Structure 1
Amino acid sequence: MAKKIIIMALLLIMAGGPVLAAEEEPARLEEFVVSATMTQKYLSDAPGSIEVITSKQMEEMNALTVADALENSVGLIVSRESGRTRVPSIRGARSKHTLVLMDGRRLAFGFNDMIDLRQIPVVMVDRIEIVRGPASALYGSDALGGVVNIITRKAPYEWSGEAKTQFGINKDGDAKEYVGSAMVGGPLDRFRFLLSAEKRKKDGWNKTSSLPDDGFEESPLLLSGRFSFDLTDSQMLSAGVEYTDNKYEGGQFYERMDRTRNFDEERRGYFAQYDAHFSDVHDFMLRVNRSEYENKMLFDPDARSGRRNTSQYVNQAEARYSGLYFDSHLVTLGFDFRRDELDDTQMGELRNKEHVNNFSVFLQDEFNIFDPLYLVLGLRYDNHSEYGDQWTTRASTIYSLSDSIRVRASFGQGFRAPSLTELYVTSLRRRGQEVYEANPDLKAEKSTSYELGIEGDFDIVYAGLTGFYTDVENLIESIFNRVEGSGPSRKSYYQWDNIAKATIKGIEAEAGLRLPHGFSVDGNLTWMDIDNKSGGEDIGAQPKYKGFVKLGYEYPDWRLKANLRMSYTGRMEYAEGDRYSYTLFGTYISKGFGPNFEIFAGVDNIFNKTFERNNVTQIEPTTFYGGLSYRF
């Protein structure tokens, strides 16, 4: 009944609200992006395929984490791996082939080499920039499939603040979720700061199978700070710190026994940065960055093989210079040194800590060949302490057919160095029934990609169409080795090796239309075809089709917003032979009161579409939520 009431209220507001929007706006506002070239430019001028998810868009889908915010992105799947971990996968590549950055900074890998996007709340996020296609010529290892760059809020020049609270519950009365967040910042002479915090508490929810796996109890906490000091009008020192703590507890069937799994994860990040802007055409940046990840896992009743403590660290120092030469060449030169460290109890008693070093230098030139033709060339050299040297190249061009229509073309190479886990850690997976053995002789995975697209952006409509083709080689796959034990102690052993190749081709389409009376329609559709040259089905359980449509409504004079969303994920086939496809519907409505207050409510997964994989529910049941916010 509650679901029907909310849907009817939304439709009535749309039908009976004002008949004219306050003012017609462009179909898509121009956004500044930095991830495509490491230099700031308008989205329409950025080479390659770029998508920007704004804080407003996150708010209108009630995204609480970066994982939620990315769900409807073009050509991107938020995969659910290792049970509940949520990781990004771009253009059919594996999740390990997507580089996740925060303000351009590397993050330490998490559990089983994955950066779980549930660990990153959006309260501190200004926007998310997604680069589709290989970007190793700029970013090095792990950008084989693309880049997700999470741009956080900066210390403001004017005093501002925000407080927000909300409550949610699923259709069965379970999974009660409480969220509270706050943020405040402003200037103190030349010094500026921004502090933010968020605390969430989510109850578990009923199991949906004969096994005990259900929705875990969750208790995430975020604390972050950004600090800036203006040395002069053209020079600035900045620093930042972020801390997240995520605790999960719930039933899990592990080593053929019902147990309670306790999992505690912490992320910490620190950075200091110097920026200088000289003569309007020369910029310099120097930054040091440290990212830390730690987890502790245990089971009750105890499972010795399930006790696991992992610590991963990234220490990074980088310098970058950009300057304009001959009035048309914007040249960027960068240096980077990185040390990755891993300490894992599953390495064994004789070896419990390993590290690798990586030194790199890159050069990029952006220039106009002639007035409507813009070209970007890039070259990068990486020296890795384990596998040696790696060169990667990139070429992108934009040709403007008119002020509103552009053609884009790109060629790029990508690579991913073997992770410390693959090189040195023997890990248990699939509920402790499978053992994955390390291989110190692994080589880097590599990709070569081509794309061609056309896009137009007019007063009330925008549209784009892009085709891409990617070759991937030296893919690291697990090879079956042997079986040991019997009964509850039986385990299958695998080892990592470079055995696989794949080709991925696809088409991405997106469009938006601003309709009369405050309505708008936005959507995208992706088609992919993956040919696993090693045999078998699609790698990474990638869908052939993925689509999204949103009907929005906004009346600024009343501070009223609403939307109805539909997302479709086509058939995904997993290694164990399971196949799934699903369509989800959601809705959101908000109303402002005065200049500062706003209330909001919504429903996710309106028609209660769920499915299980390995006895873990992959999509939560119908969930209702509501809350209020205050801004100044």
Structure 2
Amino acid sequence: MNMLNSRSCRILMTAVIIGSANSQALAADDFTNWTADEIVITATRTENPVSKLPMAVEVITREQIAESGALNLADVLAEAEDVNALEPVNGRIGVAKLRGLDSSLTLVLIDGYRLQSGFQGYSDLREIPAGMIERIEIVRGSGSALYGSDAVGGVINVITRKPTKELHGGLSVSGGGSRYGEAGTVESDGWLSGSAGKLGYVVAGTYYNRDRYDRDKSDLMTDGDDRRIASGSASLTYDLTPGVKLTGGIVYADNSLDGIRTQTSGDFDRWVDSDRLLVHVGAEIKTGEESNLSLQVARSTYDWSSLMDNLNGVPVITSSTASGTTTTTATTTTTRTKVSQDYDQFDARWTGRFADHHRLTAGVEYRTEERTDSGSTVTTKVVTKTGAVNSGPTTMVTPDKTDSSHDVDNLGLYFQDEFTGLKPLSIIAGVRYDDHSDFGSEFSPKVAALLPISSHIKLRASYGEGFRAPSIYELCTGSLTTKKSIVQSNPNLEAETSQTFEIGSDYTNGRFKASVTAFRNEVRNMISQVQIGVDNGIPVNQYQNISRAMTRGIEINASMKLSSAISISDRVSFLDSEDMSTGKVLLYVPDIANVFRLDYLNGRLALKGNIRIITTGTQHVSDIEKISGYTLVNGYLSKRVARNTELFVGVDNLFNDDANAAYGNNEGSGAMGTYYYGGLNFKL
């Protein structure tokens, strides 16, 4: 296993020594506020403190996001526990994998609504700017009992900014660039929230523009594209009566990319534009002393388009000579691809107390999804023959156009009981029934238990079953061509199903907290691409249900307040995987993932900062090739210079590790080399 490298270890040892020296004179009372319990809603669809949940839950706060220097959701999740983004996807897409499972088995939500997929069926997390995020709740382990399809590895719920009672606002501006003078970035983020009588409101907007970068100079392909994102969000609440609150919101993001791609047929300019829109309205109705009814309706649209053209319009020249005749062919290719995805959802959920020891949740969810893929390729060839009797240019235009459209609907019914009648033991049990228009029906049960055995120690265990319905892309679309293959859809696919076992323990004692979790995931009917032929030298693959897969691991999380100013934390995951049909390990599953943090906060000096060390271990990228891991060191420092103004600086990948070299050009961790940034925050 690849552990922290020597430079990282020196930083870690220094932090521990300094922290220990400062902690000698501290009493336990100094840490009263350190163990503040986060209230989360994703794990049970009801409000619960993290300490009362029998699941592995992580909360990433607005402050933590700001102090990471992250520009988008993919950047934030790169430092989350047991979240890995390395996956062989095309299109410079940022994805998230939980516990070694494919990204398709992780459900990503925005304010409780599904994040729409786009190119090749993936959801690009780089299209969600960090500035619109208030907090992120990550629930590891099967979540299908509440959320249905896709929540096999877990659920990531991105919660945008919400209205406040008092008037608040803020503005953040920053800029940065890499050590190579590339990736020049300008970012701005502003928000305003408050209330006026019965009306609560918040509006927020983010804009950032990053120049392309190219660390690998061996070809023309850019490692990172020119990227621009403009986004806005708004949320409203209105107290119609003492027992009825109306809610509404909108989230919009416009994303554009411009870069160079190198393919077997030449170099191409590639432009991408996408627009994501989510609109939702609802009502929270109090139906009793301890019961309420929630009604929500949402409409989500996503439009994605790309254009690839010969670089600078210069044709690709090829020539051959036979029988005294030289044939020269100049080929120009233009490829256009469009994806349109529309999604509607209705959700009704009732929660209430029954017989003192039961908190019941019952709900119905109905959603429809329609996807349209269209593409066209125009190949222009100018053929010139010399040395023949009839010589001269001949122009041939070969258009190729494909269109595919499909829609699905899903009805889900779910029920959950939070039972506390066997104190101190508490049990959460639930089941969901889904009826999908394409693959049929599925039941997804889950049971989890929490047992405090002392004031410091608690045990937890859970078992859950999950499933993933084949996506419209897999069922009906596919791709005529990608960089290396033709991908065919398969309307006869069955749903992937899973079983998840988990057991863990949590320990809290004053200034110290720790937890350990062991888990095992088994996935049946795993959907993979299988080669079924060759077309003009290009492999032809088709989606098929081929195998069973397993991932298992141990997650260890510990944190400690070393002094009134210094705290440390470490989150390490040991992973193992297997394709149970072949006995081989799964690809792109690291054997270890570790995130270490050293945090500093000095109120008297109005100074705060952190050092973050992110390690990813060795992993297989093919059946026979295993590559080494990497370690990145990131840092952040801020100083309040006025009552409402704070200056900050930061660095990512301090030691310039080339983490991306072995994983392809996916704009992932360390891709641009050492990156420096700075800016200011202003708050009302």
Structure 1 residue 226 corresponds to structure 2 residue 235: yes
Paired position in structure 1 for 2:64: 57
Query: Which of 168, 186, 198 is the equivalent residue of 1:190?
Result: 198
Q: CA deviation at 1:354?
A: 0.7
Q: Which residue of 2 aligns with 1:3?
A: none
In structure 1, what is the Cα distance between the partners aligned to 2:504 and 2:630?
28
CA distance in 1, matches of 2:219, 2:108: 34
Task: Report whether the alignment pairs 1:439 with 2:457.
Answer: no
* 2:339 counterpart of 1:332: no
Tell me the SS of whatever aligns to 2:435: strand
Aligned residue number for residue 132 of structure 1: 140
Q: Distance in 2 between matches of 1:345 and 1:571?
A: 39
**Is the 2:22–2:562 Cα contact (8 Å) retained in structure 1?**
no
Identify unmatched segments of 5+ residues in structure 2.
1-10, 314-331, 377-399
Q: Which residue of 2 aligns with 1:363?
A: 415
Q: Are the aligned partners of 1:92 and 1:540 in contact in 2 as well (CA < 8 Å)?
A: no
- The equivalent of 1:217 in structure 2 is 226
Correspondence for 1:475 among 526, 530, 542: 526
Query: Matched residues in 1 for 2:91 and 2:630: separation?
Result: 18
1:199 and 2:207 matched: yes
Mean Cα deviation higher: 450-459 or 332-341? 450-459
Secondary structure of the 1:539 match is coil
Amino acid at match of 1:541: Y
Match of 2:557 in 1: 510
Deviations 1:268-303, CA, capped at 9 Å, x for gaps? 110001012344410110000111111111112287
Kindly report the root-mean-square deviation, in angstroms, between the aligned alpha carbons of the 2 structures: 2.3
Could you list the runs of 5+ residues in structure 1 that have no partner in the other structure?
1-6
Give the corresponding residue for 2:393. none
Identity of counterpart residues, as a percentage?
Answer: 32
Structure 1 counterpart of 2:681: 629
Checking the alignment, whether the CA contact within 8 Å between 1:79 and 1:95 is kept in structure 2 is no
| Partner secondary structure for residue 618 of structure 2 | strand
Cα 1:532/1:306, change in 2 over 3 Å: farther
Is contact 1:537-1:573 (8 Å) kept?
no
Matched, 1:484 2:535: yes
Deviation of 1:365 (Å)? 0.5
In the TM superposition, what is the alpha-carbon distance from 1:622 to its structure 2 partner?
Answer: 0.2
The residue type paired with residue 538 of structure 1 is V
Larger Rg: 2
Q: 1:242 aligns with which of 241, 251, 265?
A: 251
2:452: which partner in 1?
400
SS at the partner of 2:241?
Answer: coil
Contact 1:346 1:425 in 2 (8 A): no
Distance 1:370 1:276 in 2: 31
Q: Which residue of 2 aligns with 1:271?
A: 280
Q: In the alignment, what sits opposite 2:121?
A: 113
Matching of residue 498 in structure 1 with residue 545 in structure 2? yes
Matches within 5 A, 1:598-617: 598-610=646-658, 611-612=660-661, 613-614=663-664
Q: Partner amino acid for 1:55?
A: R
Q: Name the CA distance, whole Å, in 1 between partners of 2:626 and 2:342.
A: 36
Q: Is the 8 A contact 2:276 2:303 kept in 1?
A: yes
Question: Structure 2: how far apart are the matches of 1:72 and 1:616?
Answer: 17
- Which letter maps to 2:157? N
Instruction: Encode CA deviations 1:146-174: one digit per residue, 9 max, x unaligned.
Output: 10011122122111100010011100111
CA contact (8 A) 1:423 1:441 kept: yes
CA shift for structure 1 position 255: 4.4
SS in 1 for 2:116: coil
Residue identity in the other structure for 2:424 = P
Structure 2 residue identity aligned to 1:445: E
Which whole-Å CA distance do the structure 1 matches of 2:580 and 2:76 have between them? 33
Contact 1:104/1:149 (CA < 8 Å) preserved in 2? Answer: yes
Matches within 5 A, 1:111-190: 111-190=119-198
Contact 1:144/1:415, CA 8 A, preserved across alignment = yes
Q: TM-score, normalised by structure 2?
A: 0.86
CA distance in 2 between counterparts of 1:217 and 1:531 reads 38
CA distance in 2, matches of 1:326, 1:226: 36
Partner of 2:325: none
Between 1:152-161 and 1:91-100, the stretch displaced more is 152-161
Question: Once structures 1 and 2 are overlaid, which stretch shifts more, 183-192 or 379-388?
Answer: 183-192
Q: In terms of mean alpha carbon deviation, does 173-182 or 229-238 score higher? A: 229-238
Partner of 2:643: helix, strand, or coil?
A: coil
Change over 3 Å in CA distance of 1:25–1:203 after alignment to 2: farther
Distance 1:147 1:389 in 2: 21
